[in-house]
């Protein structure tokens, strides 16, 4: 069974680099040196989604921690509801829970905004690459 998993591993790490090199070579044969610039632009812009994914992961982690803190506060409140009622501390605990919930909702909102930005930029980067490279070769190099 383990050999089966290793065969997939070697297939991916063995065939993907060969396919990339061959596609760049064939693209160079068709388009010339401009294909190298296009591939370089793609490699440079591949860094951007990685950075955005790191930011998104940090916000998601903070959201999960805020949610855990709120759930912990709710559990504590529910476990000691008799004591809270006896001493009349409902407003204090409600304000604590409300504060934690507002923090959790704010972080969930930030998470959605970062997620939207991540997916938008990830989908727009190939189009931006195409437009920039087309403008560079058709606009700038046609002047010379």
Residue 104 is predicted with a pLDDT of 95
Q: Per residue in 122-138, pLDDT tens? A: 899 989 888 888 777 77
Residue 142 is predicted with a pLDDT of 62
Residue 34, classified by CB atoms within 10 Å of its CB into exposed (0-12), middle (13-18) or buried (19+), is: middle
Contact call for residues 49 and 115 (beta carbons, < 8 A): no
3-state secondary structure labels for all residues of 49-81:
HHHHHHHHHHHHHHHHHHHHHHHHHHHHHHHCH
Residue 1 has pLDDT above 60, yes or no: no
Q: Per residue in 55-92, pLDDT tens? A: 999 999 999 999 999 999 999 999 998 988 888 888 99
């Amino acid at each position: 069974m383990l050999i089966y998993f290793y065969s997939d591993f070697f297939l991916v790490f063995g065939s993907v680099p060969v396919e990339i090199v061959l596609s760049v070579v064939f693209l160079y044969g068709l388009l010339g040196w401009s294909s190298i610039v296009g591939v370089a632009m793609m490699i440079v812009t591949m860094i951007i989604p990685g950075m955005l994914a790191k930011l998104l992961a940090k916000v998601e982690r903070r959201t999960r921690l805020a949610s855990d803190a709120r759930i912990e506060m709710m559990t504590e409140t529910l476990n000691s509801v008799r004591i809270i009622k006896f001493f009349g501390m409902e407003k204090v605990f409600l304000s604590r829970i409300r504060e934690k919930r507002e923090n959790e909702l704010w972080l969930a909102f930030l998470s959605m905004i970062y997620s939207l930005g991540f997916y938008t930029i990830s989908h727009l980067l190939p189009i931006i690459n195409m437009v920039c490279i087309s403008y560079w070769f058709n606009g700038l190099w046609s002047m010379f």
